[in-house]
Amino acid sequence: MKKKVLSILLACAMTLSLAACGNTGGNAPAAPAGTDAGDAATPGESVASELTDGKFAETRHITVEVYDRNNDGGSDPTNNVYTDYIKKGMLEKHNVEVEFVAIPRWTETDEINTQLAAGTAPDVCVTYSYPTIKSYADMDAIIDMRPYIDNYKSELPNLWNWLGETNLYWNSDLEDGTTWAIEAKLANMNRVVTFIRKDWLDKLGLKEPTTKEEFHDVLVAFKENADTLLGADANKMVPYSVSYDVGWRAATLIESFLDPNMSDKEYYVNGFDDRKICQNGTKEGVKLLNQWYNEGLLWKDFYLYGSGDATEDDMMKAGYVGAFTHNWDYPWRNGEDSIAANLKRLVGDDAKYIAIDPFEDKNGGHNKFLAGPIDRKIFFPSTNDEPLASMLYLDFISSPEVIEFLQVGEEGVTHEVLEDGGYSIIAATGDAIQNSGMNIDYTITCNGLNLTTEDLTKKSLAHTYAGIDPQDILDADKIAKTDTRIGINVNVGDIEAESGAGDTLTAKRDTCFDNAVKAPVADFDATWEAGLSDYLSSGGQDIIDERTAKWDAVYSSENIR
Amino acid sequence: MAKDNKGYKAPKVKFDKVYLKRYYQLYILLALPLIYLLIFKYVPMWYILIAFKKYSIVLPVHKMAWAKHHGMEFFIKAFKSKDFIVALKNTIVLNLKDLIVGFPVPIIFALILNEIRIKKFKKVVQTITYMPHFLSWVVIYGIALQLFAPSTGLVNLLVERLGGTSINFLGEPGNWVRTYIGLGIWQSFGWNSIIYLAAIAGISPDLYEAASVDGASRFQKMWHITLPGIRSTIIVLLIMALGNIIGSGFDRPFAMANPTVLDKAEVIATYVYKAGIKGSQFSLTAAVGLFQSVVNVFFLLGANWLSRKFGERGIW
Q: What is the pLDDT of residues A243-287, one digit of tens each?
A: 999 999 999 999 999 999 999 999 999 999 989 999 999 999 999
B49 in contact with A at a CB cutoff of 8 Å?
no
Residue B232: count of CB within 10 angstroms of its CB: 14
Min Cα–Cα distance to chain A from B134, Å: 22
Contacts of B260 in chain A (CB under 8 A): 303, 511, 514-515, 518
Please give the residue of chain B at the shortest CA–CA distance from A138.
Answer: B56
pLDDT value at A8 more than 80: no
Cα–Cα nearest to A228, from A261, A264, A197: A197
Chain A residues whose beta carbon lies within 8 Å of the beta carbon of residue B279: 499-504
**DSSP string spanning chain B?**
-TTTTTT--PPP---SHHHHHHHHHHHHHHHHHHHHHIIIIIGGGGGGGGGGB---SSS-GGGSPBPTTTTTHHHHHHHH-HHHHHHHHHHHHHHHHHHHHHSHHHHHHHHHHHH---HHHHHHHHHHHHGGGGS-HHHHHHHHHHHH-TTT-HHHHHHHHTT-----TTTSHHHHHHHHHHHHHHHHHHHHHHHHHHHHHTS-HHHHHHHHHTT--HHHHIIIIIHHHTHHHHHHHHHHHHTTTT---SHHHHHH--GGGHHHH--HHHHIIIIIIITT-HHHHHHHHHHHHHHHHHHHHHHHHHHHHTT-----
Interface of A with B in 408-447 (CB under 8 A): none
Q: CA A93 to CA B191: how far, in whole Å?
A: 65
Confidence check: pLDDT of A18 > 50:
no
Average pLDDT of span A135-145: 91
Which chain A residues are Cβ-neighbours of B62 within 8 angstroms?
26
User: Mean of the pLDDT values across residues A508-532?
Assistant: 96
* Dist CA A262 CA A267 (whole Å): 7
- pLDDT of res. A20: 43
Query: What order do you get walking across the sheet with A321-327 strand by strand?
Result: A238-241, A321-327, A192-197, A353-356
Q: What is the pLDDT of residue A9?
A: 53
CA distance A230 to A200: 10
Give the pLDDT confidence score for residue B315 in this predicted structure: 72
A383 alpha-carbon distance from chain centroid: 26
Using an 8 Å CB-CB cutoff, list chain B residues near A534.
263
Mean pLDDT in residue range A175-185: 94
Least confident interval from A27-36, A72-81, B100-109, B122-131: A27-36
Give residue A5's pLDDT band: very low, low, confident or very high (50, 70, 90): low
CB A394 within 8 A of CB A156: yes
Q: Decide: A444 and A397 in contact? Cβ < 8 Å.
A: yes
Average pLDDT, chain B: 89
Closest CA to A316 of A293, A301, A299, A295: A299
pLDDT score of A71 more than 80: no
Does B151 sit within 8 Å of A514, measured CB to CB? no
- pLDDT band at residue A30 under the 50/70/90 scheme: very low
- Percentage of chain A beyond pLDDT 90 is 66
Contact state of A304 with B171 under an 8 Å Cβ cutoff? yes
Rg (CA), chain B: 25
What is chain A's Cα-based Rg? Answer: 27
**A290 pLDDT exceeds 90?**
yes
Task: Using the predicted structure, report yes or no on whether residue A174 has a pLDDT greater than 80.
Answer: yes
Closest to B274 (Cβ–Cβ): which among A22, A116, A503?
Answer: A503
Higher pLDDT, B68 or A525: A525
**What pLDDT, in 10s, does the model give residues A426-470?**
878 888 888 888 899 999 999 989 999 988 998 888 888 878 888
Report CA dihedral (B47, B48, B53, B57) to the nearest 10 degrees.
Answer: 30
Taking one residue from A and the other from B, the number of pairs with CB-CB distance under 8 angstroms is 115
Q: Among B28, B58, B279, whose Cβ lies nearest the Cβ of A140?
A: B58
Asked if A16 has any chain B CB less than 8 Å from its own CB, the reply is: no
B287 — contact with chain A (CB < 8 Å)?
Answer: no
Which chain A residue has its CA at the smallest distance from B254's CA?
Answer: A306
Residues forming beta bridges with residue A183, ordered by sequence position: A377
Is the minimum CB–CB distance between B59 and chain A shorter than 8 Å?
A: yes
B284 touches chain A (CB under 8 A): yes
Q: Do residues A507 and B259 lie in contact, with contact meaning Cβ atoms separated by under 8 Å?
A: yes
Q: Flag whether residue A49 sits within 8 Å of chain B, measured between CB atoms.
A: no
Which residues sit opposite A360 in a β-bridge?
Answer: none
The rounded percent of chain B whose pLDDT value lies above 70 is 97
**Segment 286-325 of chain A within 8 Å of chain B by CB:** 300-301, 303-306
> Residue A21 — pLDDT band, cuts 50, 70, 90?
very low
Residue of chain A minimizing CA distance to B276: A500
pLDDT per residue over B69-114, tens digit each?
888 999 998 898 888 999 999 999 999 999 999 999 999 999 999 9
pLDDT in tens, B263-316: 899 999 999 888 877 777 888 889 998 999 899 899 889 888 888 887 777 777
CB proximity under 8 Å: B 121-140 to A: none
Please check whether residue B118 touches A, CB under 8 A: no
Residue B117 — very low, low, confident or very high, per pLDDT cuts 50/70/90? confident
For residue A151, name the pLDDT band (cuts at 50, 70, 90). Answer: very high
Can you give the pLDDT at residue A26?
36
Q: Is A382 on the interface with B (CB under 8 A)?
A: yes
The pLDDT mean for chain A works out to 88
pLDDT confidence bin for A13, thresholds 50/70/90: low
C-alpha–C-alpha distance, residues B313 and B316, integer Å: 7
**What is the rounded average pLDDT of the residues A289-314?**
92
Residue predicted with more confidence, B31 or B15: B31
Q: What confidence tier does A34 reach under pLDDT thresholds 50, 70, 90?
A: very low
| CA nearest to B257 within chain A | A304
Task: Enumerate domains of chain A plus CATH numbers.
Answer: 2-182+374-403 (3.40.190.10), 192-371+488-559 (3.40.190.10)
Task: Using a pLDDT cut of 70, give the percent of chain A over it.
Answer: 91
